[in-house]
Amino acid sequence: MKYLKQFGIIITVSFMGEFLHHVIPLTIPASVYGIVLMFILLLTKLIPLEAVRETAHFLIKVMPIMFVPAAVGLMDMWGIISVNLVAYVVLIILTTLIVMVVSGVVSQKMIRSKKTTDLSGEVAE
């Protein structure tokens, strides 16, 4: 029953993202609205992490299965993709590199700016 409740919370936030997608006239996908909304709710502790932790871990474990339909769709469109294959490969490589660099820079800045407290109560950098 706990898992159903946790899944219900996650799916409710997802539906709220769908609602925001239809109400706000931007080209942002509904899933992004849902993720941002979930992040805000977790950050503000309106939804405690423990309220969704186990189901979130399960969904992350089965996430690769969710890419199978997309891969089949790509194979079905091979005739269209093969015409511009070089452009797609270059685009994939460039965007992957950009994501890696931005993620690395952001992670380094977060690690450097984070202050930790040791057991004596002193703040260390």
- Give the pLDDT confidence score for residue 121 in this predicted structure: 54
Give the global pTM.
0.62
Share of the chain above pLDDT 90, in %: 71
- Give the pLDDT confidence score for residue 125 in this predicted structure: 52
Higher-confidence residue of 55 and 1: namely 55
- Give the pLDDT confidence score for residue 122 in this predicted structure: 57
- Give the pLDDT confidence score for residue 124 in this predicted structure: 53
Strand ranges for 43-118 from DSSP E = 116-117
Parse the chain into domains and list their residue ranges.
1-61, 78-125
Q: How many CB atoms lie within 10 A of CB 12?
A: 13
Residue 12 contacts residue 41 (beta carbons within 8 Å): no
Q: Is 50 exceeded by the pLDDT of residue 118?
A: no
- 29-71 pLDDT tens trace: 999 999 999 999 999 999 999 999 999 999 999 999 988 998 8
* Structure tokens that stand for 34 in this block: 């849902």
